[in-house]
Amino acid sequence: MRRDRLTWTFYGCFVAWGWFLYSFNPSVPLLADELGISDAQAGLHGTAMAVGAIAASWVTPRLVAREGRRSAVVVGLGLVAAGVLALVLARSLAVSLPAVALLALGGNVAIASSQAGLAQHHGPAASAAVTEANGVGSSVGLVGPLAAGACVAIGWGWRPAVAVTIALTVLTAWGASRLPVGGAMTPPATPRGRAARVRRPLAPVGADVPVRGSVEALAPVEPLPDELADGPGSAHAPASPTTRRSAGAAWCFLAAVVAAIALENITTYWSTDLVREQTAAGAGIATATTAGFVAGLSGVRFLVGPLSLRVRPAMLLAASFVVTVLGWAVLWTASSSTVAVVGLVVAGFGCGVQYPLSIALLLSTAPGAQDAAQARATLAGGLAIGLAPFLLGALADAVGVHTAFLVLPAVAVVGGAVALVGGRLVARTPLP
- The pLDDT-based confidence of 81 (bands split at 50, 70, 90) is very high
pLDDT surpasses 80 at 431? no
pLDDT value at residue 82: 95
**DSSP for 202-270?**
PPPTT-SSPPPSSGGGSPPPPPPPGGGSSS--S--PPPPHHHHHHHHHHHHHHHHHHHHHHHHHHHHHH
Contacts 24+ apart (CB under 8 A), 206-209: 206/2, 206/122, 206/123, 206/125
Who has greater pLDDT, 399 or 413?
Answer: 413
For residue range 107-162, list pLDDT tens digits in order.
Answer: 999 998 888 888 777 777 777 777 788 778 877 877 887 888 888 888 888 889 89
Q: What average pLDDT does the segment 256-282 reach?
A: 84
pLDDT value at residue 245: 62
pLDDT value at residue 190: 56
Q: Look at residues 363, 318, 325 and name the one whose alpha carbon lies nearest to residue 121.
A: 363
pLDDT surpasses 50 at 196? no
pLDDT value at residue 197: 43
Who has greater pLDDT, 328 or 28?
Answer: 328
Percent of the chain past pLDDT 70, that is, above it, reads 83
pLDDT surpasses 50 at 201? no
pLDDT value at residue 244: 62
Q: Count CB atoms within 10 A of the CB of residue 105.
A: 25
Q: What average pLDDT does the segment 244-264 reach?
A: 84
Count Cα atoms within 13 angstroms, Cβ side, for 392. 30
Percent of the chain past pLDDT 90, that is, above it, reads 20
Q: What average pLDDT does the segment 411-422 reach?
A: 91
Q: Which of 10-14, 134-138, 326-330, 395-399 is predicted with the least confidence, judged by mean pLDDT?
A: 134-138
Q: What average pLDDT does the segment 74-86 reach?
A: 94
pLDDT value at residue 432: 45
pLDDT value at residue 51: 87
pLDDT surpasses 60 at 429? no
pLDDT surpasses 70 at 23? yes
Mean pLDDT score across all residues of the chain: 78
Provide the whole-model pTM: 0.65
- The pLDDT-based confidence of 240 (bands split at 50, 70, 90) is low
- The pLDDT-based confidence of 246 (bands split at 50, 70, 90) is low
pLDDT surpasses 70 at 279? yes
> Cα separations (Å) of 140 from 120, 135, 252, 318, 394?
25, 9, 30, 26, 31
pLDDT value at residue 199: 46
Who has greater pLDDT, 289 or 163?
Answer: 163
> In the chain, what are the domain boundaries?
5-188+241-427
3-state DSSP: the chain helix, strand, coil percent, rounded to 5?
A: 80, 0, 20
For residue range 7-22, list pLDDT tens digits in order.
Answer: 888 899 999 998 998 8
For residue range 227-237, list pLDDT tens digits in order.
Answer: 444 444 444 44
pLDDT surpasses 80 at 218? no
CA distance 332 to 341: 11
For residue range 343-354, list pLDDT tens digits in order.
Answer: 999 999 999 889
CA distance 123 to 379: 24
Domain made up of 5-188+241-427: CATH architecture = Up-down Bundle (1.20)
